[in-house]
Every structure is written in structure tokens, then in C-alpha cells.
A and B are shown apart, each in its own frame.
Chain A
């Protein structure tokens, strides 16, 4: 890391730029009932951008820092109440979790697009945002010039008004465009396939001798630092859940291998910076060499919780099977957490809800089991409940309203041509459901199969034990918890039930159409539902006591005995994951002791490669030290920089709510 980068990092780590933060403006010029929501949104963006004051770090490289920390809401309370009473609102109501296509805007510049705008509502609105952004950029250029930084001023004179010619210009342009999306109220703004759309600029610079690999690394680091500068302003469910994800490597649209020099530089930059953003997703396939996994594993060892790996060999055919065009499927990016989305073409909501596997199976056991004469009958009941749950989720999600985003619309196919804001849809309008608690659900079914249908345990006894949270039923508890098969131990009978649950989920979503003509996708992620859904459960038939959380994402149950990582990977690669390709990784926790020797890098990398070769779709590894986490709960002041992976994102441990901290401590660690 160069001195210049160290200095910028130190400055922002000490939050010294926070002193420039201003209070919210008092007059909200856009809340005029006579304005369309699209114009309102543009005027709000304009007000936010106009209020911004240039702030330059010492040694500034990639500029633009938020000084207006918050955006006032678009509507007043009464207006919003009217809208919500007749519409389904996803999360906060803003456009979120998309992968914009930055390529064209980086290449041509904003003025090129501005010239092509007409007088329609969306075009007017987009023009307002472009003008406000270019005006702010001009003020930044003036500030840089005043500070004597002619180099930065020259870059800002050029971009994003015009197309970038160099790697630095492209990075600066990207920073400004990304920044403006946040100022529009859009959130979970992902960075997409950064190494693909940026590499041409770097290649030209290297060719022309304007940059070296070392100077390029410094630039990448400066850009990554900028991503962390304001990330405290963008909390999702928790601090750190900000969606600033990036995808590296993977197959290009025309089928070539996309791993390039910039891919490696990005991985190196993350290792040097040790910060939570951007969250790295690495695309791999059966031909990915071991050294790529080793490079990723070096980041895992640092405890960053990324890279998260996605397997092109499963994801691409899975998306094609759902109806995505082959080229688009090859171009997939990863949303804020793990959902697969298409850059510049998708207005998808891959996290519109979650199928609660564990709760569904638990209900079937509590209410249906006594009428079931065999396992097949119970499975029929479970299957019916899965179909009902999916249908109910769809029935609730009607008449969707999303706040318009005229600036973001610039980055999506067809929006400008048709004059339709991105919030109204794009080429792909699919929705996705997570699937929480798969492993506990399979474990419950396996326990019932073994204890009730094979060993003759009376259903009443089982239900009474669950009701009593196993108090007075200690032997049964032991037998359910430790002597019935668990997903993750490579036992076919329980793994087959998990496969069947996923198949049923895929069949249940199949055929559903949302009101925008999109389909419904089934997934293996959990988001925060692993806490929510667990709170709705009492004790369960897998021996899980009431109050114990569900596993996050696609992972084994908590507090069980696991054979180890090999069995884990074998179990979790048995399902046909192409069919449940909304996203959601196998999460593996390692004790940091695993990495006591350098050769463990290779072994962990081999393990990840095995998962990929065996048909796993997505995997993410954590390195944790339980004692350090416990100590960090007691002495948070000593652990400000301790990074952990929560569900689909990395954050600072001490900034999490306690229930999320406790879950991380409780996840079964694979020790050596």
C-alpha cells in the first residue's frame, strides 16, 4: 500500500470527513402536489446534489464525498399513507438491489445522453438530474483547482460529462455516477462486473505506458476507499448491509473466460485495505485453476467474509432454464447479497419474500402428522403447504409501487427510448423468494421418518415433547438431536429429503407470473429471515430447542454434531441447484486455527474447488475466532475493525445488533 493510500485510509478511518456533514435542508422544494412523482424524484435529487459541498481529502485521488448525509422522504406522511393503502411496497419503496449497466455512460459521458433527451416526463426529469450532477462536478473541479490539484481538476473537467479516456477517468466517472444513485434515494446499488467494464481503460493505459500494474493497484485502492467513505450512511437491515457488491471474473457474454489482470488487482486491493466494501463476488467454473481459489482463500484467511464464489456451470444454465437469454445469463451479476441479476436489463426483486421451510415442516408435523399413516402422506402435506405458502406470498404482492428513479433509468436498457422509468420495469421483471431453514426442515422430516414411522414413536409423545420444549423428555431429545440424521453429514436419507424440499419449492414457484409479467424464482438464501422465522418457532422435531436460531442461508442446523467440511460439501452438492437459482450460498465457518500453516491456503482452496466441481452453486467462507468475538462483545472499543460476514454481506462486528452477533458466535465452527 502506498503512502498516499495509507494517508487517505487513515483519514477516513478516523472519520475526519464527517465534520463536513451538514443538516437536512428545511424547505423541500419538490413536495408539490402538482408535480408527477418522476419530476418530484428528480427535483429531490437536484436539491440533494445542489446542497452538496465539495470536500477533498488530503492527497485526494478519487473524489466525491457525501456531506448531506440523509435524504428527506419524497412524500409527506399523508401522501405516503394513501399510496401504501392501495399498493404493495417492497422494503422502503425505493428502487434497490439492481445492477446498473455503467459501460455506456462511462464510454460516452452524460452529455451524449443528455443531447438525446426530449420533452417527455422521464426525459425532463433525467435532464434535471444530469444537470445537477454536472454542476456539482464543476464545483468539485473548481475546488480541486483551488487546492492546487490540477490533475484531479482536469479529470473532473472531463468526466462524467464526457466519455472516459483513461482508467483514472473511468474510475472517477464511476464514483460520481454511483454516488449520484445514492443521492437519488436508490439503495443497494451494486457495482456489477467491474473488472469487465473497466479493463478496456486499464488495458489502453498499460499499452500506452500511462499506468503500470503498481499505479493501477493504487488507483483501484483509491476507488475502493471511496466506496467505504460514506457507507455508514447506507445501512440496510444492519450497518454494513449496504449492497456495494462487485462481481469479478466469470464467463463473458460471448463465452470467453473473463478473469483478467484487473480481477487480480481487485483481490489484491481488498487484501491490503481490509475494509468491508466493496463486497467481492468471484465467478468460477470447472476450468478455474486452483491458484485463483488460493488467491480468494488468502482473503478468506483475513476474515473478510469474501470472496463469495459463484459457479458459472450451474448459475448460467439455471438462468437459461428460467428463460434468460444465453448472453444475458452469461453476463449475470450478484445483487447486494447473493441473488443473480442481469446488469442493465433487470428490474428484478429477487428478495421479495421467503419460503419458511422450517416453519412449514414444523406446522405439518404439529397439525398433519397424526393423520398420516406413512412418510409419503406427510410429504404430501408438506408439499401442499409449500404450494400454499408460495401462492399466498404471490397473492399479497399485488399493485406494486416503486418510487421513480430517473437518473438510474439512464443505466437500463430501453428506459430512455420508451420513456418508462426503471421503477416500472425492464426486460427482466422476475421476483425471487428465499428459502430459509432448509437444513432444519430436512432434519425434522428425517427425524420423524426414523423415530415415528420406523421406530414407532407415538405422535402424541413427540408433540408433547415439542410442547414441553423437551423438559421431561430428555432421552427423546438426545435421540432427536444427536441420533437422527442431519443434513451436512453426507447421509443420503436426510439429504434426499432436502433435495425433495428444494424440488418441491421449484415446482411450487413454476408457473406463477407476477403482475409485471415476470416469473417467480426459488432460492436458497435466508437474508434476515433466519432470525425472524426462528422467533416464530417453538421446539422442533429435529431436537432443536425453542429459541435456537435457524442457520443463515444454505447451511446446516446450529448446535448439531457435524462430521466436517468434506461431508458438508458432499451433502450440500446433492440437490440439483440449477432449479433453485435465485441465490443463497453454502456458508462454511472455519476457526482461524485452520490457517496456522501456509499449506492450508491450498487445502481450503481445494475444498472450494470441490464444491464447484460437484455442482454447488454458491459458497462463502468465514474465518472466525470465537474467543475474539466474545471479547469483542465485552470490549467493543478494542475491535472497531473486526469484520464478519452476516448473511449476504460483511460488516463490522461491533456495529451489529446483539442477536446477529450471537448468531455468528453460535454457528458451528469447523475446527482443526
Chain B
């Protein structure tokens, strides 16, 4: 079947317990405009499918090289994958049609419905493939949908997203604009604007704060975030997500260097009183 809207998906995960209410499935869309230094899904950065190789366990048997038709310039033919006895090679990212993805998700609609769950779109940055995503959501009538986003998108896209999604989970990463650019690679302004749109709007939202040691584990950041959502009637809660030491594990698999630029081993500080004193519900992971 020919599908006009297609997108690149790098994972579909059932029973994603941290991605919204009830029993839900999370779809990871590939490609992200941000370059957060702590990103733990580096295969979600590039918008294109790519070969992932787990090099640490490689025995250099050479079986993959023997069958490669294009050494040094991968054409994603996948010929090398079955050759690896240790199963260390895979292709991350599959192009899917909107209807194809929607059908896969609808299969479990009864279960989402029975448990107050639904479908969550994450990434990467899901709004980067908005026309695809919008079409998928349109094909899921009656299913609760949530989006996990960096908020880095056009105002128009963000507005549409708020209008058609049941829940928006917006990351609030760094409050200081200069540090924001330094640690995420992008301008904070559109994200701040979208956070305010959520705070003033009717779409239920969760503010998610990755807490990175030495980057944003300071009282000013917590206070800024608390003020941002103080009084927001559609705020569900704030999620505080401490940095996970294992974040760098997948970088070498996609041929990138993990260079966090902060002390990974330091336990981050928390200032929950900024939320407590304002009566803002929050949850610490």
C-alpha cells in the first residue's frame, strides 16, 4: 500500500511505565535537532536509519567484512548482520507508513482503554516528524495520546500538538539561556515560549526535568522551573529525572564519542522545596 506520510521509527516499546498514565506503548521517532550532552538515545539523533555495532564484544572474526559490498561507506544493505555470530549488529530506524504504525498501535487499543493508558510518542524529537505524527494521531481516534518533546518546534506545530494530544510531556532542561545553548546546542527561547503556552493552556502537561550534576542541579534552575508552572491549571506534575550513569553506553554503537562535559559520577543535588513551597506536585525518579 502506498502511504503518503511516512516516518522513521527506531523503537516501539510496550508497557512503557514511565511515559504516562495506564498501560501504554511508546513509539520512538528518529531524529532530533538538539544535541544534549547527556542524551542517552544517541541513535535517535540522526533522522536516517543507521547501522549500530556493539564493538566492545567484537572478536574481530572478520565475517562481516567479507560480505560487505560497500566497505567504508555503509549503504544499510544489512548483509553483515546475520554474519555476526554474537549478534552485535543491527539497523536502528525503520521507515513506516502512518497507517502501518497506527494499525500496529490499534492492535492493543482495548488494553489501553481498559487501563486508562494509550500511546506515547517520544524520540529523538517527535515533533521533527510532525506531519507524519499528526497523521498517525489522526488515525488513532479514541486512543489517549501523549508526546514527549523537547519543545523545540515552530509555534504552529506546538499549538497543533497541544490541540490534538491528550498529554504533553515537555522537557525543561536548563534555565540559563547561555548554558542552555552550550549544553543542548539550541536556543532556549522557543522552548520557553511553549512552556508558557502549556502553563496557560488546557492541555494536561508534565514538566520533565533531567537533573544533571554540575549543569542544572542548582536552586536557581529549580526555582525558575517552579515559577514557570506555578498556578498552571493543567499541570499534572513535575518529574525530576536524575542523570543515569549508563547514558553513554550506546554512543560507540553509532560511531559517536560520548563527551558529557560534566562529572558523571557526582550525585546531583535536588531542591524539591521550590516545588513543595508552591504546592506544585512533583515526582522524583
Contact = CB atoms under 8 A, between A and B. Distances in A.
Nearest to B14: A564
A478 B80 CA distance: 11
B15 A597 contact: no
What class of interface size applies to chain B in its complex with A?
Answer: 20 to 34
Contact of B17 (A477, A478, A599, A610): A599
Contacts of A599: 17
A569 B12 CA distance: 17
A302 interface: no
- B interface, over-half SS: loop
A451 to B, nearest CB: 14
A596 B285 contact: yes
A603 B17 contact: yes
Contacts of B115: 603, 606, 610
Contact of A564 (B13, B63, B82): B13
A566 B13 contact: no
Interface residues of A, number: 25
Contacts of B22: 603, 606
Given A474-B63, A566-B23, A597-B283, A672 B18 contact: yes
B267 to A, nearest CB: 16
B89 to A, nearest CB: 10
A186 interface: no
Contacts of A607: 15, 23
Given A606-B22, A610-B114, A566 B15 contact: yes
Nearest to A601: B17
A452 interface: no
B60 interface: no
B81 interface: yes
A479 B15 contact: no
B96 interface: no
B15 A672 contact: yes
A109 interface: no
B14 A477 contact: no
Interface string B65-87: 00000000000000001110100
B25 interface: yes
A69 interface: no
Contacts of A479: 82
Contacts of A478: 81-82
B82 A565 contact: no
Interface string A596-625: 110110011011001001000000000000
A567 interface: yes
Interface in B87-115: 107-108, 111, 114-115
A312 to B, nearest CB: 20
B209 to A, nearest CB: 15
Interface string A485-502: 000001000000000000
A548 interface: no
B82 A475 contact: yes
Interface in A540-577: 563-567, 570
A561 B285 CA distance: 28
A282 B25 CA distance: 28
A400 interface: no
B283 A565 contact: no
A477 B87 CA distance: 11
Contacts of A563: 12, 14
Contact of B18 (A565, A596, A604): A596
Given A490-B107, A566-B23, A610-B115, A603 B15 contact: yes
A638 to B, nearest CB: 21
A566 B108 contact: yes
A490 B15 CA distance: 14
Contacts of A474: 63, 82-83, 85
A607 B12 CA distance: 18
A632 interface: no
B253 interface: no
A670 interface: yes
B23 A606 contact: yes
A613 B111 CA distance: 11
B16 interface: yes
Interface string B1-40: 0000000000011111110001101000000000000000
Nearest to B13: A564
A599 B115 CA distance: 12
Contacts of A566: 14-15, 23, 25, 108, 111
Contacts of B81: 478
Nearest to B284: A597
A475 B108 CA distance: 32
A662 to B, nearest CB: 18
Contacts of B285: 596-597
Contact of B23 (A475, A594, A596, A603): A603
A477 B81 CA distance: 11
A565 B111 contact: no
B15 A564 contact: yes
Interface string B231-248: 000000000000000000
A596 B284 CA distance: 10
Interface string A465-479: 000000000110111
Contacts of B23: 566, 603, 606-607, 610
A613 B110 CA distance: 12
Of A566, A607, A610, most B-chain CB atoms within 10 Å? A566
Contacts of B17: 594, 597, 599-600, 603-604, 672
A120 B178 CA distance: 96
A670 B17 CA distance: 11
A346 to B, nearest CB: 36
Given A567-B14, A670-B15, A610 B111 contact: yes
Nearest to B85: A474
A478 B89 CA distance: 12
Interface string A194-237: 00000000000000000000000000000000000000000000
Contacts of A603: 15, 17, 22-23, 115
Contacts of B16: 672
A607 B63 CA distance: 43
Contacts of A490: 107
Nearest to A490: B107
A563 B13 CA distance: 7
Of B13, B15, B83, most A-chain CB atoms within 10 Å? B15
Interface in B171-201: none
B218 to A, nearest CB: 24
A605 to B, nearest CB: 10
B92 to A, nearest CB: 14
A610 B17 CA distance: 16
Contacts of A600: 17
B47 to A, nearest CB: 24
Contacts of A613: 114
A603 B19 CA distance: 12
B15 A565 contact: yes
A51 to B, nearest CB: 54
B283 to A, nearest CB: 7
Nearest to B90: A482
Contacts of B12: 563
Interface string B157-171: 000000000000000
Contacts of B82: 474-475, 477-479
A291 to B, nearest CB: 15
Of B14, B63, B83, most A-chain CB atoms within 10 Å? B14
A551 to B, nearest CB: 19
14 contacts: A474-B83, A477-B82, A478-B81, A564-B13, A564-B15, A566-B14, A570-B108, A596-B285, A603-B22, A604-B17, A606-B22, A607-B23, A613-B114, A672-B15
Q: Sorted from nearest, which 4 A-B pairs have the closest CB atoms?
A: A564-B14, A478-B82, A566-B14, A565-B15
Given A474-B63, A477-B82, 11 more contacts: A474-B83, A475-B83, A564-B14, A566-B15, A566-B111, A597-B17, A610-B23, A610-B114, A613-B114, A670-B15, A672-B18
Interface of B: 12-18, 22-23, 25, 63, 81-83, 85, 107-108, 111, 114-115, 283, 285
